[in-house]
Amino acid sequence: MASAPRRRLALLGAAALVILAGLSLRAGGYRLGLSFFAVKYGGSLLWGSMVYFLIAAFLPRRGRVAGLALALAVAVEFSRLVHTPAFDAFRLTTAGALLLGRVFSLWNILAYAIGIGLAALLDRALLPGQEESRQSAITSQG
C-alpha cells in the first residue's frame, strides 16, 4: 500500500507527465504526421486524465474521484456555451484555450470520459489505496 503522501506525489507526477504529453501533442502532433482526430481528441483524452489525477491527489476517497472528475470536465465543456467579454478574452489566450477550450463538442465529453476511465484504471493498478488495504485486512481477519 502506498502511503498517502507518496500516493499524492505519484498522482501529481502523473498529472505533470500528462500535461507534458498534452502540450507535446499540441505542439508537435501534426509535424509527426498525426491526424486532426488524434491531436484533437488525444488532447481531450489527456485533459480528462489530468483532471482525474489532480482531483485524486487531493481527494482521499478514491470512489468519488472519477465521478467528480467527469462532472468537472462536463461543466468545463458546457462553459464553452457561456459567452461574456471576460470569458471570451481568456479563451483567446493560450492558457484559456488549453484550460477551457473554445468550441463546445459532445465528442470532447466522450474523450474526457475515456481519459478519466483510463486514469482511474492506472490509479487502481499502480497505486493501490487505503480502501483495498482495509478490505484485505477485513477479509484476512474473517
Owner of C-alpha cell 507535446:
24
Kind plus residue range of the DSSP H or E element containing 52 = helix 36-58
Map out the domains of the chain as residue ranges.
4-136
Position 1 scores a pLDDT of 54
Position 4 scores a pLDDT of 84
Per-10-residue mean pLDDT for the chain, 142 residues long? 82 97 94 94 96 93 90 95 92 87 92 97 82 44 48
Look at the chain and count its residues: 142
Quick check: 7 and 126 in contact, CB under 8 A? Answer: no
Position 3 scores a pLDDT of 80
Position 87 scores a pLDDT of 87
**b/e burial code for range 82-93 (CB count within 10 A of at least 16 → b):** eeeeeeeeebee
Position 129 scores a pLDDT of 65
> What is the rounded CA–CA span in Å between residue 29 and residue 91?
22
Please report how the helices 36-58 and 4-28 are oriented relative to each other, as an axis angle in degrees rounded to 10.
160
